[in-house]
Amino acid sequence: MELFKQKVILLTGAAGSVGQELIRQLIPLKPAEIRAVDNNETALFFLGEQYRHNSPLTIHLGDVRDARKLEDLCQGVDIVLHLAAFKHVGLSEQNPFEAVKTNVLGVRNVIQAAHRAGVERVLFTSSDKAVNPTNVMGITKLMGERLMTAANLEMGGQGPRFSSVRFGNVMGSRGSVLPLFVAQIRQGGPVTVTDANMTRFVMALPDAVHLVLKACTLSCGGEVFVTKMPVMRILDLARAMIELLGPCHGYDPEDIAIRITGIRPGEKLYEELLSEEEMGRALELQQMFVVLPSLPELAAKVRYRYADKLEFASCRRPYMSSREIPLTLEEIKQFLLTHRLLEPGLPEDSGRQWEVEVGTTPYYVLNEMATVLKA
């Protein structure tokens, strides 16, 4: 990751879950400066306190809706990582104008500021909900992708490289379903699932950040990078969490009910990361897919070359959660434990080890040390 060494990096949405993990992984890469931008005053303050000593991090209170502020912040910047967004489907449905201001006009502001400042690369974080969108959030994310791709045509292709990445559901982030399930299990249920057949692509926070860094390194301009990731049935996730956390709170897992509530407005039964339309212009790499631009003007100007392209590079089918083999119940438990996603759900008893089992393997979750160890 030599790309980031001694570079000035602007990070929007820095105080969010992914933003904080990105900062943690960027600092060892020795950038000259990380300009952390967020409109959450409290979270930004504590982020600054965390890295107050001997750190390349500088804190900036601001909003991507403020074009002039972004232009000031982009001066002297080499790389922009744009994470700031409205990401909640329900709230975006209820507040579509606000979602457009942040997720569409905010992207436009980032693009214009990057052009004027002579930035080298800009990476936009999108979502699986941008593929065949059925909700406001997905539509705005798709528009953000298209804006980023088209931005490569400005300045005769001599400006920054603009690209996007698509996330699945980032487990452990503030917008994931895990905190809801944890709270419901702590109360003894019921645990609410919208549909028994609902499936989702999932990724852990470190994997999401790795995708951002890798895509930024590979970017030629105009692509959308999609990492390969596991699929979970949400019903199975609920069952796994009940079995693992229920006993820690004194409940028999059999006594914690699961209630099916019905799909909410804008929600999809399954998610897509690669559509049928896109697969004809997508390449498969070892760990990800790359969706090339549909704009012929851009394809004619850019040579898309990637070192780890597979021998059979073209994609032969859409990448949908409904068509992938989901993780088993035991594999979901393994995923949760390996990525330390259960610790916020443990009782506040720092002197106790909580033993859980995955198959025949016992695990000890140490609340005081905040780690997960195999026995």
**Nearest CA to 107 among 136, 145, 77, 139?**
145
Is 228:258 a contact under the CB 8 Å cutoff? no
3-state SS string for the chain: CHHHCCCEEEEECCCCHHHHHHHHHHHHHCCCEEEEEECCHHHHHHHHHHCCCCCCEEEEECCCCCHHHHHHHHCCCCEEEECCCCCCHHHHHHCHHHHHHHHHHHHHHHHHHHHHHCCCEEEEEEEHHHCCCCCHHHHHHHHHHHHHHHHCCHHHHCCCEEEEEEECEEECCCCCCHHHHHHHHHCCCCEEECCCCCEEEEEEHHHHHHHHHHHHHHCCCCCEEEECCCEEEHHHHHHHHHHHHCHHHCCCHHHCCEEECCCCCCCCCCCEEECHHHHCCEEEECCEEEECCCCHHHHHHCCCCCCCEEEEEECCCCEECCCCCCCCHHHHHHHHHHCCCCHHHCCCCCCCEEEEEECCEEEEEECCCCEEEEC
Chain centroid to CA 359: 30
Q: Determine which one of 5, 30, 101, 129 is catalytic.
A: 129
**Is 129 tagged catalytic?**
yes
Measured CA to CA, the distance from residue 97 to residue 110 in angstroms comes to: 19
Is 283:290 a contact under the CB 8 Å cutoff? yes
CA angle 28, 33, 34 (to 5 degrees): 80
Residues identified as active-site: 129
